[in-house]
Amino acid sequence: MYELIEIIKARVFIWGEFTEIILNAISLLFIVLGVFVSIVRTLRKGNRLIGYPPHMYFRMTFGGWLVVALEFQLAADIVGTIIAPTNEQLIQLGAVAIIRTFLNYFLNRELTEQMELSRIAAEKQVQDKLIDKDHG
């Protein structure tokens, strides 16, 4: 019975390490893909959007990709801690989780605020055009 438990532990450990690597790779993929997509979208649309300087449009677009990447990294850290839970790793996971949670929260908050400001600027520009049209 002890041998069976050791075999199961070894397989769980291997699958856990594999899962951790895959989750980190997905996170990296989202970051790299997010940079390229954000650059392309910024070059195509960034200068024409109402209320956005191009760098803000890039930040908002890339920020969404970063949020997803952070979620995958946190999942990878959790899996890593599940398969080899030492006190040091648990403390490290706690610190990383707190940092990533704060990053994620403030990034989401900033994105939401920027979207709202952009919507208000777009509405104002439409209203200004209507007023100009009526007076012109």
Three-class secondary structure assignment of the chain: CHHHHHHHHHHHHHHHHHHHHHHHHHHHHHHHHHHHHHHHHHHHHHCCCCCCCHHHHHHHHHHHHHHHHHHHHHHHHHHHHHHCCCHHHHHHHHHHHHHHHHHHHHHHHHHHHHHHHHHHHHHHHHHHHHHHHHHC
Number of domains in the chain: 1
pLDDT one-digit tens code per residue, 72-104: 988 998 888 888 777 887 787 788 778 878 877
> What pLDDT, on the 0 to 100 scale, is given for residue 80?
83
Question: pTM for the complete prediction?
Answer: 0.70
- What integer is the mean pLDDT of 50-79? 82
Could you list the residue range(s) of the whole structural domain that residue 95 is in?
2-135
